[in-house]
Structure 1
Amino acid sequence: MTHLLYGDRLHLRPCQIDDLDFLHKLWNDPDIRRFLFDDRIISREEAQSFVDLSIKSFKSGYGLWLFFERQSDLVAGFAGLLDFSQEAPSLIFGTNPLLWGRDYATEAASVVLRYAFDTLKRDRVIADVDEPNAASIRVLEKLGMSPARRTIVNERPLLYYEIRDRVGN
């Protein structure tokens, strides 16, 4: 299975080791790392560990996808599902700051959720977001995700969201 996904304006493909330089640079962008990595610069090795985890996870059907503008094939960001907990796969996404405001994160995350429910037959997906990250909270709410709980992690307020498959597989 190739795990290629398609939205109206985007296409998604699993990230590969060849994407490491791009992802390392993107994940260290101050606007991305502020909420994704608690505002710390990550090493190339740490970025590689996420890419390696994603590649390994695709043996179970999911991981991180890069999403591209269909018209230009420009890498617009990443979206995917990772197993951070045993309860349900966790949705993660981020858009190149140069392309913010185009609803790409919403479209890519929606495609990933549809894949989780329709193809993987998952009944629930979770997500966490730093409480000050209003843009990502808007994305989660547009996706139909509901707040589940609030906690403090690394002295930062963290919100948890969830969505259940409305069809019920």
Structure 2
Amino acid sequence: MLNKSDINEVKELYTNEKVRRYLGGTYEEEQIKTAIGDMVIKESESLYWVAREIRTNTFIGLVSLSPHHDGHDVELSYQVLPTWWGKGYGLEITQVILHYAFDELSLKRVIAETQLSNIKSCNLLKRLGMKLEKEIERFGAQQCIYSISSSSRK
């Protein structure tokens, strides 16, 4: 879970241009304070986890389960620092959270939304066993909605 001691590391995600390329751009300090404040306030409806490398405890990124914009679904979201890209950490982290969503929270379905142009994220979602459900226009870009149900898990 997200702790106050994680805040400075989480800020790295919101100020990193590579991380934020498909997420609406980097945040200014006030936007970061609001985003982190929302994470703390919305704990009852959203869950946030900081991901760390086991051996070194080095910060990797942030992952969450929260209500989706559609008001019906629970969304899996993730941000990983570029240092960790291409090493399997994003897949491992999201697999753990999906396991938690289905086996601990007893969710029946989880979705993820990513930009169509974010090929690496689309590929990660496919590797999780998620299926492309639809494409929509949102946030000024073409978005892909992927989903997975508890009954269709690998």
Structure 1 CA distance, aligned partners of 2:26 and 2:51? 23
State yes or no: 1:47 paired with 2:35: no
1:5 paired residue number: none
Q: CA deviation at 1:48?
A: 2.7
Structure 1 CA distance, aligned partners of 2:97 and 2:151? 15
1:90 paired residue number: 75
State yes or no: 1:29 paired with 2:16: yes
1:64 paired residue among 48, 58, 82: 48
Amino acid at match of 2:67: D
Structure 2 CA distance, aligned partners of 1:154 and 1:167? 30
The answer on whether the counterparts of 2:13 and 2:79 sit within 8 Å (CA) in structure 1 is: no
Q: Secondary structure at the match of 2:44?
A: helix
Q: Secondary structure at the match of 2:76?
A: strand
1:111-133 per-residue CA deviation (whole Å, 9 max, x = no partner) reads 11111111111101111001111
Structure 2 CA distance, aligned partners of 1:75 and 1:67? 6
Q: CA deviation at 1:106?
A: 0.7
Q: CA deviation at 1:167?
A: 7.5
Q: Secondary structure at the match of 2:144?
A: strand
Structure 2 CA distance, aligned partners of 1:73 and 1:18? 13
Q: CA deviation at 1:79?
A: 1.1
Which residues of structure 2 form unaligned runs of 5+? none
State yes or no: 1:77 paired with 2:77: no
1:146 paired residue among 128, 131, 136: 131
Q: Secondary structure at the match of 2:31?
A: helix
Give the percent of matched residue pairs that are identical in Structure 1 and Structure 2. Answer: 23
Q: TM-score normalized by structure 1?
A: 0.82
Q: CA deviation at 1:108?
A: 0.6
Structure 2 CA distance, aligned partners of 1:164 and 1:51? 29
Which residues of structure 1 form unaligned runs of 5+? 1-13
The answer on whether the counterparts of 2:65 and 2:76 sit within 8 Å (CA) in structure 1 is: yes
State yes or no: 1:159 paired with 2:144: yes
- Number of residues of Structure 1 aligned to a counterpart in Structure 2: 152
